[in-house]
Amino acid sequence: MPMHQGSCHCGAVKLKLPSTPTVATDCNCSLCRRIGGPWVYFEFGAVEITGHPDNTTSYIQGDRTLRTVHCKTCGCTTHWEPLDPKKHSKHGVNLGNFAPELIAAVPARKFDGANTWKFFDELPANESTPKGEAQPRVQPPTCYGSRCKPGPRQA
Ligand SMILES: [Zn+2]
Ligand SMILES: [Zn+2]
């Protein structure tokens, strides 16, 4: 099994993935569109992380279900983790901290966390291309909860 190791820009925080991700999520919610991604998801605890929490700070937003973690020195967001981890809780890793070859190899699905809470490839064409009319806000623009994860079709 290939070992994927990544780090923040300055190297103070290192991450080692337990397996090759098959899909990533590119989310447009209020937070993700600022801090980037794409995100890949693993069972909480499965990713080997060094330099955390010694070299990191975190940000807790919105519905307070999780914290995004970034390096104290270079500011790169490395991952997010649940505030109240349960059995089989997931957490997200920012794939941007890994080699360009890996980022290029993992297909990213665009997730409409800002609005419909669906992947754009699941939306009917008329929903994904609004013609100026206001979209109903079905959820607050915070995809960072447990729902911000790959869809049920993930292998
Ligand atoms: Zn750093
Ligand atoms: Zn998001």
Longest dimension (CA), the chain: 48
Does residue 153 have a pLDDT over 50?
A: no
Residue 24 is assigned to a structural domain of this protein: yes
Count of the separate structural domains present in the chain: 1
Cα 80 to Cα 56, 66, 70, 135, 137: the distances in Å are 12, 7, 9, 28, 25
* Domain span at 38: 4-120
Distance between CA 96 and CA 123 in Å, rounded? 26
Q: Is residue 98 part of a domain?
A: yes
User: pLDDT confidence of 8, banded at 50, 70, 90?
Assistant: very high
DSSP label at 133? S
Which ligand places an atom closest to the C-alpha of 52?
1
What is the pLDDT at residue 2? 63
- Report yes or no on 148 lying in a domain: no
Q: Summarize the confidence of residues 12-32 as an average pLDDT.
A: 96
Work out the pLDDT band at 139, boundaries 50, 70, 90. Answer: very low
Predicted TM-score (pTM) of the model is 0.79
Q: Does residue 134 lie within any of the structural domains?
A: no
Q: Please report, for the domain that includes residue 19, its CATH number.
A: 2.170.150.70
Q: So what's the pLDDT on residue 63? A: 77
Q: How far is the CA of 141 from the centre of ligand 2 (A)?
A: 8
CA of 25 to the centre of ligand 2 (A): 9
